[in-house]
Structure 1
Amino acid sequence: MLFSRTRPLSVVRIVQTQVIQRSFWGWLNAVFNKVDHDRIKTVGPDRAASEWLLRCGASVRYKGFDKWQKDYNHLPTGPLEKFKIEAIDATESCIMFNGFDYLDHLEHVEEIKFERCIYIQDECLERLCRIENLQKSLQCLKIISCGNVTDRGIISLYHLKNLSSLFLSDLPGIEEKEQTLQVLQKALPACEVQADLQ
């Protein structure tokens, strides 16, 4: 009895469909992350960043407000200067390196959470750490289940001198766990570093 070494036609079609779907979503996510500098000038950095983050599936909390803003279609109206981003929850969002220009002029961000973000990688964290306003304002950072983050990206966090809390969990890309944590703790003595990297 002869066995075919080729895949059945139905399997080939399923694989092709999955590749096309991945390509489409990758393209769409890249579109969502394209920076509109004119929009930043028109509505201000906090409003433009809010639109970017919510478009990509993240949430924001504004300074002086308890409620998280999650719905792009219900962004608050009124004086734009009233709504300053204080916290960002990027859990399962599609934010990627291309969009990080939106963070450049945010002055009030104290908390950021990256959890299960498939596009967050070392270059994103390195870019984050070069933003002067975030070096001053960011106090709490959580990075959880981001498989593309390695030791290099985590070590770059030493630029965030005002961090008081750093939580790291389920980061399989980190290979030199103890050494990386030692570098961070030495560079950020006032920061409480919690790590679950087993």
Structure 2
Amino acid sequence: MAAHVVLKRLCLSHGQLAMNPAITQARVCGGIAARVALQQPVRSLWGMLNAVFNKVDESRIKEVGPDRACAEWLLRCGAAVKYKGFDKWNDDYNLLPSGAKGRFLIEEVDATESCIMHIGFPHFAGCNHIRTMKLNHCIYLDDGSLLQLDHLKDSLTRLQVSSCGDVSDKGLASLNKLQNLTNLFLFDLPAVKDIDSVIQSLHKDLPQCDIKYLSEKELEEIKLGKDKQS
């Protein structure tokens, strides 16, 4: 079945058919793609589509500046951004603000259930004001993605990496380049084999960083506590 037909059917079933297919993909890939990715043939289809939406366009970066181009990439992929000096999050591609280069500088990123992948991470180059980033349940995130967070080594202070099944010890170890990191929150990373050694190494390289890791037991206790409250 053609990719655009699958996309249209998924959008119709989700009640979100946008006029622009690119915007439609951005809106649904974070939520729907995360679910349909459990089906391998569909995952392959989404993988190809997401590779297109993650591709870096150098001419676009030159035209609008790194922060605008980065925001376009993140929102295409279902993430949200908050700009420096603004209180509200922007998660709608249609509501990307317009203005002169440098008017809107990304300060926070929430990539929860987005389809960002390593080939898109060069978008972060030149974004010098990103302080906080949440990478939660990003099914295409891998070690190659985290290796490229060094683009943000001078600004990033708070980072969450959780429920990303392709992130391993190698990816977490690469975070030692983020010398300004003060808070690191980790949990549900099944590909990490020796979390204790990774944390010990990161503590050595980032002595100022408060590293919090939730084990499976702690996560289960939290879940049980929420179930009791409800």
**Shorter-chain TM-score: what band?**
0.7 to 0.9
Q: Equivalent of 1:155, from 173, 178, 181?
A: 173
Match of 2:122 among 101, 111, 130: 101
Contact 1:46 1:85 in 2 (8 A): yes
Partner Cα separation in structure 2 for residue 124 and residue 159 of structure 1:
14
Residues 1-198 of structure 1: pairs in structure 2 closer than 5 A: 19-129=40-150, 131=151, 134-198=152-216
Q: Which amino acid aligns with 1:169?
A: F
Q: Deviations over 1:105-151 (max 9, x none)?
A: 1010001110000111111111212x2xx111000000010011111
Per-residue CA deviations over 1:68-124 (Å, capped at 9, x if unaligned) read 000001111233321000011110000011111111110100011100001111111
Structure with bigger gyration radius? 1
8 Å contact 1:171–1:197 — kept in the other structure?
A: no
Aligned residues: 178
Contact 1:126 1:157 in 2 (8 A): yes
CA distance in 2, matches of 1:195, 1:94: 24
Q: Which runs of 5+ in 2 are unaligned?
A: 1-38, 217-230
Q: What is the aligned-residue identity percentage? A: 52
Please state how far the C-alpha of 1:175 moved relative to its aligned partner.
0.9
What TM-score do the two structures reach when normalised by structure 1?
0.87
User: Could you tell me which amino acid in structure 2 is paired with residue 93 of structure 1?
Assistant: S
Task: Write out per-residue CA displacement over residues 16-70 of structure 1, whole angstroms, 9 at most, x where no aligned residue.
Answer: xx55433321111011001110000000000000000000000000000110000
Aligned-partner residue type, residue 143 of structure 2: D
Secondary structure, in 3 states, of the residue corresponding to 2:85? coil
DSSP-derived class of the 1:78 partner = coil
Q: Which amino acid aligns with 2:212?
A: Q
The 1:117/1:88 distance shift into structure 2, 3 A limit, reads same
Please give the TM-score of this superposition, normalised by the length of structure 2.
0.75
Compute the RMSD of aligned alpha carbons.
1.1
Distance change in 2, residues 1:175/1:19 (3 Å): closer
